[in-house]
Each structure stands twice: as structure tokens, then as C-alpha cells.
Chains A and B, each alone.
Chain A
Amino acid sequence: MNTPRATRRALLVGSLLLLAGAAQAETSTQDAIAEYREMFGDDNPAELWQSRGEALWHTARGPKQANLTACDLGLGPGVIEGAYAQLPRWFDDTQQVQDLETRLVSCVTTLQGIPREEFLKVKFGDGEKKSELEALTAYVVAASRGKPIALPMQHPAEQAAYALGKAAFSYRAGPHDFACATCHGDAGKRIRLQELPQLTTAAGAREAYTHWPAYRISQGELRTMEWRLQDCFRQQRLPQLKFGSEVAIGLTMFLAKNAEGGTLAAPGIKR
């Protein structure tokens, strides 16, 4: 009866021979997918969300009949250029660390008087049911295109959010024992043909984070970071991540900090 160690060594040799053949087929698949992505050029339907967001930003609405040009995203009232590159951050008026989406909700509720539930009734769009949050996010994010990510990270609450994000990133739970790290913890991995950026390194985090929010071809919708995290936890078989919760903002802080220095290129276009 050969020892398990010997059997394993035999298997290793066997599978290595096969890997050579598989590797060659693999690169032709990845090249073909790169070719497919290339064919979209810069005609990204996300622009339709950007123009809808721009109209919303400048339109007086709500009980207070105000537009959003006084909304302070961290760089002063109405300043959107480069604002996304410095989020999430601490805000004195709300006494919270906020990401872009929760900050937009604060502006809509305080400046326009629109109740939070009403504004978030359609958080994530689905065909005819359009999301104002997604449109406003697309508009603001596009104004940081080409800007380097640079988080203030001065306030203790910002650092605590980073720490929570880092801890949540490797929190294994649920029937499959999944954590974010299970799929995003190593380099060069993929699920099916879907390449997985290693989000714990600067290179991996930059590659991913700088292209979100993004137009998702598979759904024909522009999706934000809050949607991205919520949908990832759904696939991890966990309960639903609450919009604007500590873990949502903490994870976004963790990813943004890891991606620091990367140049924003959002809204991107993704599968």
C-alpha cells in the first residue's frame, strides 16, 4: 500500500503534463475575450446615465424645490471634479464616514427634502424602473476620470472603517465558508473565464477599483460599488448587505485605500 505522499507525487507529475496543453488553449481563450472587450471602443452606454445624472443634479426638486448644486462631496459645496477620488471620507455635518452613494442620499434628503425611502425606492435600476442614485453616481464619478485616488485617511473613524473593511474582507461564513479573500486573495486566479483581481495588493486593487461604478453588459445597467458588494455577498450565500452599512463603507474604504494612487477610469464597461 503506497503512502499517500507517494501517490500525491505521482499525481502531481501526471497533472503537470496536462497543464502544458491546457495552458495553450487557455491563452487563446483569454486573447479572444480581450478582443471582444476591445470591440466596444469608447462607446459606453454609461454615458446615458451620466447625462441623466447631470440633468437630475441641476433640476430643482422635492419639497424644498432645490437642485443639488450646493451638495458638498468633501471638496466644498457643488464641487464634483475630483470629489470621487477622495471618497469615502469623514463628514462633520453627518458625523459619519460616507461613500459617494450615502453622501448623495444626505444631499438629496437635506437640500431637497426628499425622504430617504422615496429616493431609494429604486436603488438599483431594472429596465423601466430607473435609479436616480445610479444616474447621479455616474455623473459625479465621471468628473473624477483621470484623477489619482487620494484618500484623506486622517480622521480616526476613517482609519477604523479601513480596519473593519480589512477584517470583513477575510470573514469566512455561510454554508460555503466563503470570504472576499477566498476569490480575491490570490493573484492570477479566475472563476470560470472571469479573471479575479487580487484586491489585497495595490496592483490588483487599482485594476478593479478604478473601473467601478461600471456599465454591466450582462444586465444593461450601470452598477455602483454598493451594488457590487451587495451582489458579491449574495453569491457568497450570505444574507443581504445593507445599503450604506458599516461593512459596505468599510470594505469600500479598504479597497479604495489599497487602490490609492491608481488613476480613476470610471464609469467603466464590464461583462
Chain B
Amino acid sequence: MSDPMRIRAAVKGEKVEVKILMSHVMETGQRKDAEGAVVPAHYITKVTASCNGRDVLSADWGPSVSKNPYLSFRFKGGAKGDKLKVTWTDTAGDSRSDEVSIG
């Protein structure tokens, strides 16, 4: 069970500004752990975001997005109280969605 994302979404003028921190190891498959064993590749490949069901962003990621990824974007047409839902899927087939109401 993965840890929840920290999502900040707030109306700024006529746009909604979103800042997300995701908890993920983003292993490239080229790192060795403390005991010297190669840690297999394990990273987020797909991120989508929607506001009240309307797509507002989608992204394809490789292993060189930094560990515990940070993502920020802006969109129009969102209002205070609307639901912003963010979903990621990774190479292990795990997926996680978190939802916040826009501040």
C-alpha cells in the first residue's frame, strides 16, 4: 500500500495552481543498495489529473524523473470546492489515486 500524495490545489486569479509531491522510489534499475545488490527498476510511467472528471493533464515518465517526484501545473475552469483527482501508475503495475478539494 503506497503512501498518499501531498496535493496542494488553490485558485489563483482565474486559474487553479497545483503542486504535488508523490511518494515513490523511482528506481532506475542501475542503483545498488547498501549490501551491493542491484535494485530492480521500479518507477512511475503514467500520471493523469482531472478536475470534476474533466482531464486537465496527462504525463508519461521515465526513470530519470527524480525520486519522490514533484509536479506543478496550472489550468483554467476550476473553482473552489471542485475535486482535483491525481492518479499515477508504475512499472510494477501499482497505481494510486488521491483527491483533494480545490482551496
Contacts and interface: CB of A to CB of B under 8 A. Distances in A.
A43 B19 contact: yes
23 contacts: A43-B19, A43-B21, A45-B21, A45-B23, A47-B21, A48-B6, A48-B21, A48-B23, A48-B68, A51-B6, A52-B3, A52-B23, A126-B33, A126-B34, A127-B25, A127-B27, A127-B33, A127-B39, A128-B25, A220-B26, A220-B66, A220-B67, A220-B68
B33 A51 contact: no
Contacts of A43: 19, 21, 70, 72
Interface of B: 3-4, 6, 19, 21, 23, 25-27, 33-34, 39, 42, 66-68, 70, 72
Nearest to B35: A126
Contacts of B23: 45, 48, 52
A45 B3 contact: no
Contacts of B21: 43, 45, 47-48
Contacts of A126: 33-34
B3 A51 contact: yes
Interface residues of A, number: 10
A104 to B, nearest CB: 19
B27 to A, nearest CB: 6
A134 to B, nearest CB: 13
Given A126-B34, A127-B25, A128-B25, A45 B70 contact: yes
A142 B4 CA distance: 18
B74 to A, nearest CB: 15
A220 B34 CA distance: 14
Contacts of A128: 25, 42
Interface in A96-154: 126-128
A48 B27 CA distance: 18
A136 B51 CA distance: 33
A52 B3 CA distance: 7
Interface string A34-53: 00000000010101100110
Interface in A24-66: 43, 45, 47-48, 51-52
A268 to B, nearest CB: 15
Contacts of A45: 21, 23, 68, 70
A47 B6 contact: yes
Contacts of A47: 6, 21
A132 to B, nearest CB: 12
Nearest to A127: B25
B93 to A, nearest CB: 15
B45 to A, nearest CB: 18
A48 B69 CA distance: 11
Interface string A217-235: 0001000000000000000
A25 B19 CA distance: 36
Contacts of A52: 3, 23
Given A43-B21, A48-B6, A48-B21, 19 more contacts: A43-B19, A45-B21, A45-B68, A45-B70, A47-B6, A48-B3, A48-B23, A48-B68, A51-B3, A51-B4, A51-B6, A52-B3, A52-B23, A126-B34, A127-B33, A127-B39, A128-B42, A220-B26, A220-B68
